[in-house]
Structure 1
Amino acid sequence: MEPGHILVIDDQELIRNLIIRQLTRQSHEVIGVGSGAEGLALLRAQPFDLLLLDMIMPDMDGRAVLTEIKADPQLPDLPVVVLSGDTDIEIVVACITLGAEDYLFKPFNPLLLKARVSVSLAKKHLRDQERRQRADLERQVAERAAALERSEERYALAARGANDGLWDWDLLSDRVFLSSRWKNMLGYNDAEIGDAPAEWLDRIHPDDQELFTVRLTAHFRQLLSYFEHEYRIRHRSGAYRWVLCRGMAVWDASGRATRIAGSQTDITERRAAEEQMQYDALHDLLTGLPNRALFLDRLDRAIAIARRQPERRFAVLFLDLDRFKTINDSLGHAAGDYLLTTIAQRIQACLRPNDTVARLGGDEFTILIEDVVDDQTVELITQRLQAAIAEPIMLGDHQSITTASIGITGSSLEYSSSAEMIRDADTAMYQAKMGGRARHSIFTPLMHVDAMAKLQLEGDLRMAMARGELLLHYQPIISLVSGRVSGFESLIRWQHPQRGLLYPGTFLDIAEETSLIIPITWWVLREACRQAYIWQREFPTEPPLSVNVNLSARIFTEPDVVAQIADALVESGLPPTSLKLELTEHSLIALSGDLSDTLQRIRDLGVQLCIDDFGTGYSSLSYLYNFPVNVLKIDRSFISRLSPPSGQSEIVQAIIALARTLNLDVVAEGIETEEQYQQLRNLQCGLGQGWLFAPGLDDVGVRALLAGA
């Protein structure tokens, strides 16, 4: 679309400048003024392609400006888009009657403003082109008519030669002349349509008849200087064609319209192009769902209605797919796109006709549930959504099962803006995701307080890395046979300047959500390797002391994970065999798609691999044969059942036997009592750690422990 010369008349400087900035980015030339009088002076001094006009202004409001424009013979063709916060439909009709081409409610969405401006400029460009063509045609007809007598026969000849369909309506006799071209445009021969006005008017689409009549009546009453209207009219095939109809009436001495004549042009292709352009501006190209701009517009309208009619309850759902990034990264973007389109279709199938689902981007969807009778309505729709989404999907040769976390908020909280409502639904969604995924959560004001606290914590955590506030403690891993220290597990701590020493449960979830876990993990790895090497030199043992470092599953999305581990070993001088990397059983299963090759390359460095929290994951243990694992760490929940003796040692015994069969080492976590220690020794468990031996120790504590060993 070619840039346009646009005038903005709005007495609110903030809104006026916002519009100017938005449109200037689209290469339009934009001038803004704060009053109707200034705007009219500019309009009469220089040409403009489009006017954006605020309705409510002091001194001279939008209606007065619009009336002046349409009364000025130099300005009636200027397209006008009215801007107003008033959503009264009567105002809309009044603006159209006065000559406005379009109407945009405040607060408007920038994308919707861009789309409306583009459509209006496109219409003007095409009208200008059609006007030039019509002027050329009229000049040719006039030149020929000058050489011919003004007879009905020669008039009919000119009408047949025109590209537009011509019409002439005698209002006194109530008969209408329709040219052959007019009839051919609708698929009829000349003799198949008579001269009764109903032959024309009854073919107009029922939804367009009222506005056609309004504009025609306004012209008859001389409220509009000429008649111009776009509408749909029925073709012989039964389909409707878009046409542009123009005309001008003749009045008698008493001001009564006696005759009106004009032309009709087929604009079906132009309208299709305009509608496609507006559709693309308001819909997601991948799924075909409404996009953020259209969703915000519909939600703003729902909020406005609820303010006037509190009984009209509605709800917003914020939906995020669980593990979508893993699927997208492992199976490729084509599979991810297919998953998104399938999920979009499933969501639509679960909703009612008056509900709206939009894709905000990525794997995030928002849903507007209107006409909510009670809380059970939303609950049933949410359950239906989660069940439908969890149905298996074939992605190439892989059967995938994805789930969704859903946050919900309702109109009962009396929101004033769509942005606030979506924000709170998003907050509730994260609450659901933190609760274990595949869940839904209803927003409460306390969640917003928690979200702000998390935001503060995230900011503090970013600063903590720069300020060196993170530190490591180390819990010894003991040989249950000899009682000697075999190595240490590194445990991160945060020395917060206001809150004191913080443990991982306080901040690691935030780190995982924000990807801070990646730089934190690399720091932990380098620091643990550096410290372990110092201890090895100061306290030599055979085999040398080892150090365990926990790896987040997010680390394996990094392309250089193996190189980073190798660099940490080289920088510290620590032998690769002294480093043990721990992955939880859940993350090992979740990442199983492309993980085997990466883990093997890590093993090829000489590094050992441990499965943490073993026994809490999937019942299938086939992955133990697929991954190069060295150590199983029995989860503390199983160890806690050993003391006092409760007859529940079978699981621990089975894990130890499995490890022995696979030639793997076993570490029992969370040993807290002497009874647990003795039972594990009797079960021939090789290694253990827990508060019975020592908590997490700082460097001074580790040195004291090793010196006394």
Structure 2
Amino acid sequence: MEPASVRNWPSEPIGDISPEEESVHLASMCCKSDWLAALAQAAAIFSFDDGKLRMLEANDAFVDAYRKRMGADQGGPRFVGEMGQRIGRFIASGRQTDSFEFRRDTALGPEYFLCTLGRLPATDEQPERYLLTATDRTSERSIEKNLRRELLSDGLTALPNRTGFGEEIDDRLANLPWPDTAQFGIIAIDLSRFSRVNESLGPMAGDELLITVAKRLKTSLRQGDVLARIGGNDFAIFARLNNGLSDALHIVQRIRDALSSPIRLSDLQIRVDCAIGCALSTSLQDDPDDIVRKAQAAVKIAKRSGKVEIYRNGVLKEAQRRFSVESRLRDALAQGEMTLAYQPLIHLQTGEITGFEALARWSDPELGNVSPAEFIAVAEESGLITPLGRWAAYEAAQALSRWDAKFGQPLPVGVNVNLSPIQMARDDVASIFEEALRYSGVAGKRLTAELTESAIIADPDKARKLLFALKDLQMSIAMDDFGTGFSNLASLHSLPIDILKIDRSFVSTMLQDRDKAVIVRTILSLAESLNLHVTAEGIETQELAHALQELGCWQGQGYYFARPMNEADAFDYWRARWNFETV
């Protein structure tokens, strides 16, 4: 190869010459130097004399890249000028090396180069020179962009996911014009009963439902709003609010309208219900992630209340409390820290103890005594009701076994165990009781399953099968809180129910409220006609006990007789009242 010819760059700085002159000069710069031509990436050598930057040599890759850039692209002079400025700043910095990414726009899209600059030491024959190499990273950037898009979007609906939602919010807050009085809001949407679609129609139908819901929700958006899928069946909308809560409620109405008509899945028409929670910023400086968390806290309340919920102060603390309770409850179940308390059931005609109702109790080292109303609600929401219900069944049967061993023979008492509707829907309750009875050696007739009317209404066919399976174990069935739900004579007649428990809301004030007294008499009369026993809850005075005794009520429980007590005290209480015949 013949020696490389070295020609000076025109005296004008880079960027001050015409595109035509640039093209001609680049053609002459094709390097004939072995080492520069051997580089795979675009490379060129520059000098800086008398305040002018000149290109001395360039390999074919560099010439081709510049020739493409200087073609029909009107940004050519700007590109060359920007590159020259970067080289000039490097020379002035005194650094030995530098690197930077350079972007140039073409008709086919942006191209990206990783550029490196280095100093070539001066010699006796030549002044200091500067080597520039440019590695094409366009394909890598394209792959990165596609991967980032996948990481920030939901593959099913193509909406932003939780992370992408946050970036979309940040972008709009930073780059859109906002009036001084403007707010932003987050509207969280939770599809109700979505799991039932998956369970009954399969996951493909569930996916189709989510895609259709996403398309409909898009129709409720205004310009500048952002819709995202932030969870399995959870969506969220970022909304600009010029009129505060009024704008948010307007969007909520649009959401309801969009989801009002049924969605066709297979041969079925599915009506989509959803819980909606809203949270509004107080200013544009509020943390968007905090507003999203508040909206999610509000939507959890909406799931329980059945109406749109607007975040209020304290809701987030309540959500954090529930999360803490859930976490500690999980540990308590794993470590055996739960206990059962036993409230006596009294035969109102003889005063004898016929049994006990087993009630879960929990005293946590950090949280203290946690109310059953609180931790059972958390257990049902989190799915912990299943292990909690299993533990209660086993523990109640074992308690009977221990009492029998202490007394020397089976006690003439039983234990009532409460069943949650969610436990009945998710667990094999009959198998749980079968195992509990087998391991304890207790007869099935000494256990009574208590369930609410809502548990039967939720899935009548499944409830019927379960109740008959429990009856096959010789267990009794009690309908708890009777009178507060939706039971009718047909269900009472068709189901193997043995006992009706009158809710305390009717019993506790029946002596002062004539209407409540009429309801109690009606339930007693109904039970007699159906050959059912009746237990009255909430007996707190002797007058109430005597009134119910005179009405022919079979059994009662309440603070008048005893509060719930631990296992040892319950046994002692029974021993003390054994054969006690007066109420």
Query: So what's the TM-score if we normalise by structure 2?
Result: 0.69
In the other structure, the counterpart of 2:247 is 377
Output aligned runs, 1:260-299, within 5 Å. Answer: 283-299=153-169
In the other structure, the counterpart of 2:277 is 407
**8 Å contact 2:507–2:516 — kept in the other structure?**
no
Secondary structure of 2:451's partner?
A: strand
In structure 1, which of residues 659, 670, 677 is the aligned counterpart of residue 538 of structure 2? 670
Secondary structure of 2:508's partner?
A: helix
**Offset of residue 398 of structure 1:** 6.8
Output aligned runs, 1:31-430, within 5 Å. Answer: 215=75, 218=78, 229-230=106-107, 283-305=153-175, 310-386=180-256, 389=259, 403-412=273-282, 414=284, 417-430=287-300
1:482 and 2:482 correspond: no
1:651 and 2:528 correspond: no
Secondary structure of 1:370's partner?
A: strand
In the other structure, the counterpart of 1:189 is none
Q: In structure 2, what is the Cα distance between the partners aligned to 1:632 and 1:570?
A: 27
1:432 and 2:309 correspond: no
Residue correspondences, number? 481
**8 Å contact 1:404–1:437 — kept in the other structure?**
no
**8 Å contact 2:181–2:242 — kept in the other structure?**
no
Q: In structure 1, what is the Cα distance between the partners aligned to 2:61 and 2:485?
A: 74
Deviations 1:290-337 (A, max 9, x none): 433442222122333589754342211122123333453355435544
Q: In structure 2, what is the Cα distance between the partners aligned to 1:226 and 1:499?
A: 58
**Offset of residue 695 of structure 1:** 1.3
Deviations 1:200-245 (A, max 9, x none): xxxxxxxxxxxx75x36646989799997236xxxxxxxxxx999x
Q: In structure 2, what is the Cα distance between the partners aligned to 1:535 and 1:649?
A: 38
Deviations 1:63-102 (A, max 9, x none): xxxx99xx986886999xxxxxxxxxxxxxxxxxxx9xxx
Deviations 1:674-693 (A, max 9, x none): 34334433443322211122
Deviations 1:114-146 (A, max 9, x none): xxxxxxxxxxxxxxxxxxxx9xxxxxxxxxxxx
In the other structure, the counterpart of 1:457 is 325
**Offset of residue 366 of structure 1:** 0.8
Secondary structure of 1:589's partner?
A: helix
Q: Over aligned residue pairs, what C-alpha RMSD do you find?
A: 4.4
Output aligned runs, 1:508-587, within 5 Å. Answer: 508-536=376-404, 544-558=412-426, 560-587=428-455
**8 Å contact 1:404–1:439 — kept in the other structure?**
no
Q: In structure 2, what is the Cα distance between the partners aligned to 1:275 and 1:425?
A: 30
Q: In structure 1, what is the Cα distance between the partners aligned to 2:41 and 2:312?
A: 50
Secondary structure of 1:314's partner?
A: strand
Q: In structure 1, what is the Cα distance between the partners aligned to 2:433 and 2:63?
A: 70
1:638 and 2:506 correspond: yes
Shift in CA distance, 550/47, structure 1 to aligned 2, threshold 3 Å? farther
Shift in CA distance, 646/697, structure 1 to aligned 2, threshold 3 Å? same
Q: In structure 2, what is the Cα distance between the partners aligned to 1:492 and 1:512?
A: 14
In the other structure, the counterpart of 1:690 is 558
In structure 2, which of residues 372, 375, 380 is the aligned counterpart of residue 504 of structure 1? 372
Percentage of matched positions with identical amino acids: 33
**Offset of residue 529 of structure 1:** 0.8
**Offset of residue 404 of structure 1:** 2.4
Q: In structure 2, what is the Cα distance between the partners aligned to 1:389 and 1:304?
A: 32
**Offset of residue 548 of structure 1:** 0.9
**8 Å contact 2:355–2:413 — kept in the other structure?**
yes
Secondary structure of 2:544's partner?
A: helix
**8 Å contact 2:393–2:432 — kept in the other structure?**
no
Shift in CA distance, 581/310, structure 1 to aligned 2, threshold 3 Å? farther
Q: In structure 1, what is the Cα distance between the partners aligned to 2:260 and 2:464?
A: 27
Question: What letter corresponds to residue 277 of structure 2 in structure 1?
Answer: G
Q: List gaps (5 residues or longer) in structure 2.
A: 1-36, 43-52, 85-101, 112-142, 578-583
Output aligned runs, 1:561-640, within 5 Å. Answer: 561-592=429-460, 594-618=462-486, 622-624=490-492, 627-640=495-508
Shift in CA distance, 364/636, structure 1 to aligned 2, threshold 3 Å? same
Secondary structure of 2:480's partner?
A: strand
**Offset of residue 360 of structure 1:** 2.0
In the other structure, the counterpart of 1:22 is none
Q: In structure 2, what is the Cα distance between the partners aligned to 1:303 and 1:226?
A: 26
Shift in CA distance, 706/243, structure 1 to aligned 2, threshold 3 Å? closer
Question: What letter corresponds to residue 405 of structure 1 in structure 2?
Answer: A
Shift in CA distance, 657/276, structure 1 to aligned 2, threshold 3 Å? farther
**Offset of residue 580 of structure 1:** 1.2
**8 Å contact 2:185–2:280 — kept in the other structure?**
yes
**Offset of residue 534 of structure 1:** 3.0
Shift in CA distance, 243/676, structure 1 to aligned 2, threshold 3 Å? same
Q: In structure 2, what is the Cα distance between the partners aligned to 1:293 and 1:489?
A: 48
Deviations 1:49-73 (A, max 9, x none): 9xxxxxxxxxxxxxxxxx99xx986
In the other structure, the counterpart of 1:187 is none
Q: In structure 2, what is the Cα distance between the partners aligned to 1:674 and 1:479?
A: 14
Query: So what's the TM-score if we normalise by structure 1?
Result: 0.58
Mean Cα deviation higher: 378-387 or 580-589: 378-387
**8 Å contact 1:403–1:438 — kept in the other structure?**
no
Question: What letter corresponds to residue 695 of structure 1 in structure 2?
Answer: R
Shift in CA distance, 693/331, structure 1 to aligned 2, threshold 3 Å? farther
Q: In structure 1, what is the Cα distance between the partners aligned to 2:268 and 2:532?
A: 31
**8 Å contact 1:322–1:437 — kept in the other structure?**
no
**Offset of residue 490 of structure 1:** 0.4
Mean Cα deviation higher: 397-406 or 655-664: 397-406
Q: List gaps (5 residues or longer) in structure 1.
A: 1-43, 50-66, 80-98, 100-133, 135-167, 170-211, 232-241, 245-272
